[in-house]
């Protein structure tokens, strides 16, 4: 039997399906809240619900056989009442025209309004803490995304600057090479220009030697005549 079938089973007794669903929800909610807050819910003839703390211990993984450390935890526990046990075992018969479990007397159901209020307060605090954690996670994720974007942009900018510097350096080198080539050409032209006048001067000096030779010959001829 699931929850829907349970609601259908008690719908005729409480005046309708909606009333039955509300009653089931209210009972289960009261039990859960009381047990979570540490209270013991006891229903005479039916059983009791309580919170049990399990200390830290070692257990074995059934698949690998590895020894695993199990943390301290809390679990809910239900203990059937004697009347419930007798009905299940068959020592007592289920009544046909009466409820199987008699109505619990006043005070047997622990965890009243105060307990419910405390549980509601604890639940609201837990929700707020969860909301804060979620907000913190979102903020952290947004910060990480922003930092990653900034880092990527900075890397791209740095790469672009390096590429620009490399291109500028190449241009500067090309200019220097062109200047050096121009300087070499200018030097070669100057050297050629200096060498050309030297040849002309040599050519002009040659006639001077001939005139000197003529004068010497003329002097020798004059001396012979005398």
Express each pLDDT in 13-44 by its tens digit: 888 999 999 999 999 999 999 999 999 999 98
**Element at 28 (helix H, strand E):** helix 17-36
111 falls within a domain: yes
End-to-end CA distance of the chain: 170
Average pLDDT, the chain: 77
**Type and span of the H or E element at 97:** none
In a domain, residue 67? The reply is no
Judge whether 72 and 56 are in contact, CB under 8 Å. Answer: yes
223 token code pair: 């001396």
**Domain membership flag for residue 140:** no
Q: For the segment 185-225, what is each residue's pLDDT rounded down to a tens digit?
A: 777 777 777 765 544 444 444 455 555 667 667 776 767 76
pLDDT tens sequence across 48-58: 999 999 999 99
**Inside any domain, residue 38:** yes
Is 116 a member of any domain? yes
Specify the pLDDT at position 201: 43
Which CATH number belongs to the domain containing residue 29 in this structure?
A: 4.10.520.10
The number of domains in the chain is: 1
Q: What pTM was computed for the model?
A: 0.42
pLDDT at position 50 is 95
Which range marks the domain in which residue 125 is found?
3-52+74-130
Residue 37 falls inside a structural domain: yes
The answer to whether 84 and 101 have CB atoms below 8 angstroms apart is yes
C-alpha 112: how far from chain center: 46
Q: What is the pLDDT of residue 67?
A: 92
Assess whether pLDDT exceeds 70 at residue 79. Answer: yes
- pLDDT (mean) for 125-150: 68
Residue 141 domain flag: no
Maximum distance among all alpha carbons in the chain?
190
104 lies in some domain: yes
Read off the pLDDT of residues 142-185 as tens digits, 9 standing for 90 and up. 677 667 777 766 777 777 778 777 777 777 777 787 787 777 77
CB-based contact 60:68 (threshold 8 Å): yes
3-state secondary structure of 55: coil
Q: How confident is the model at residue 226 (pLDDT cuts 50, 70, 90)?
A: low
């Amino acid at each position: 039997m699931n929850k829907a079938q349970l609601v259908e089973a008690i719908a005729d007794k409480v005046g309708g399906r909606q009333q039955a669903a509300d009653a089931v929800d209210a009972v289960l909610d009261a039990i859960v809240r009381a047990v979570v807050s540490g209270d013991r819910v006891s229903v005479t003839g039916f059983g009791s619900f309580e919170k049990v703390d399990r200390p830290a211990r070692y257990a074995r993984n059934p698949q690998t056989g590895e020894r695993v450390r199990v943390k301290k935890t809390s679990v809910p526990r239900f203990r059937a009442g004697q009347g419930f046990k007798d009905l299940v075992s068959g020592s007592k018969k289920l009544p046909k025209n009466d409820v199987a479990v008699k109505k619990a007397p006043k005070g047997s159901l622990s965890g009243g309004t105060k307990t419910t209020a405390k549980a509601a307060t604890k639940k609201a605090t837990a929700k707020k803490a969860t909301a804060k954690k979620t907000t913190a996670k979102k903020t952290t994720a947004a910060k990480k995304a922003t930092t990653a974007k900034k880092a990527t942009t900075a890397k791209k900018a740095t790469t672009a600057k390096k590429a620009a510097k490399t291109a500028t350096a190449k241009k500067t080198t090309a200019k220097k090479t062109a200047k050096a080539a121009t300087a070499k050409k200018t030097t070669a032209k100057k050297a050629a220009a200096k060498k050309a006048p030297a040849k002309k001067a040599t050519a002009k000096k040659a006639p001077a030697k001939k005139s000197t030779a003529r004068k010497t010959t003329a002097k020798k001829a004059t001396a012979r005549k005398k």
